[in-house]
Amino acid sequence: MTEIPEHLLKRAQAARQKAAGTGSADSAGSGERIPDALLDRTRAAGTSEKAAAVVAAGASAGLPVGAGPGGHTQRLLTVVKSGSIQEAKAAPVDKVHTWPHLLAVEFVAALACTAFLFVFSWVVNAPLLQAADFNKTPNPSKAPWYFLGLQELLTMFHPMIAGVTLPGMGLIALILAPYLDRNPSNKPEDRKFMTSMMTMFLMFWAVLVIIGSFFRGPGFNFIFPWRDGIYFEL
């Protein structure tokens, strides 16, 4: 139990002496004396004699019961049962960790592709041509299919434009594309600008590769494959 301050003890002692000298009649007339039944109940509950003296002193001084120094009263806060401040049920999210959900699937896919290529290269021979002869240049002389688009541009424009300017502008446009379209959505219907830009780039390059592969004959001249044949080999 908290120790009672000394000034309250002195005030209680003075009030007790005053009450003993003036008699119980004056205290009863004031209407502020605490009933003996309440004091007995307090003592029965384990309250010390000093606490009872403090209560009596406060009553005789005209202060509310339970008042502290300066007449301030204190109130007990209601005891509330502590509960969890976090939500017990986790809210569903549409995100998963990269490991192991994504990397495990990619690793298995890489192993499957490696095994397929190994078996395919073992069973099927590569379509290699005879050794190159510098005295006999094939006609037409075509680049690999992935460079045929660039070779097709060289037949239409100056080498500086076809080999540097146009490819450079295409690469710069692809680099700046994420900064031009800042839509955070992953749905194709919400990324119409990016989808249109990538589709135009792929279609432009695909058309050049198809023309260089199937519509170019001897001397890299334009032909119709259904009439003059196909001059294209892997």
For 93-119, what is each residue's pLDDT tens digit?
A: 677 788 888 899 999 999 999 999 999
Question: Each residue of 210-229: pLDDT tens digit?
Answer: 999 999 999 889 999 999 88
Interval 57-75 mean pLDDT:
54
What are the CA-CA distances from residue 212 to residues 166, 181, 207, 225 (Å)? 17, 33, 9, 11
Distance CA 167, CA 155 (A): 15
What was the pLDDT predicted at 27?
43
Question: Each residue of 11-61: pLDDT tens digit?
Answer: 888 888 877 765 544 444 444 566 676 667 666 665 455 555 555 555 555
What was the pLDDT predicted at 9?
79
CB 71 within 8 A of CB 27: no
The residue to which tokens 């509310």 are assigned: 64
Q: Interior CA angle at 23 toward 45 and 36, to 5°? A: 20
Question: Each residue of 118-140: pLDDT tens digit?
Answer: 999 999 887 777 888 888 888 88
Q: Is the pLDDT of residue 191 over 70?
A: yes
Distance CA 17, CA 19 (A): 5
What was the pLDDT predicted at 30?
46
What are the CA-CA distances from residue 38 to residues 34, 43, 134, 173, 180 (Å)? 7, 9, 124, 91, 83
Q: What are phi and psi of 94, to 5 degrees?
A: -100, 30
CATH 1.10.287, applies to 138-234: yes
Distance CA 210, CA 187 (A): 30
**Angle between the N-to-C axes of helices 49-60 and 36-44, in degrees from 0 to 180, rounded to the nearest 10:** 150
Q: Which residues contact 60 (CB under 8 A, 6 or more apart)?
A: 15, 18, 19, 27, 32, 33
How sure is the predictor about 73, in pLDDT bands with cuts at 50, 70 and 90? low
Which helix (H) or strand (E) segment holds residue 116: the answer is helix 103-123
Distance CA 188, CA 193 (A): 10
Taking 3-state DSSP, the helix, strand and coil percentages for the chain, each rounded to the nearest 5, stand at 60, 0, 40
What was the pLDDT predicted at 119?
95
Question: Each residue of 156-189: pLDDT tens digit?
Answer: 899 999 989 998 998 898 888 888 888 888 888 8
Q: Which residues contact 43 (CB under 8 A, 6 or more apart)?
A: 49, 52
Q: What are phi and psi of 222, to 5 degrees?
A: -75, 130
Distance CA 229, CA 215 (A): 9
Distance CA 222, CA 213 (A): 11
Q: Is the pLDDT of residue 10 over 80?
A: yes
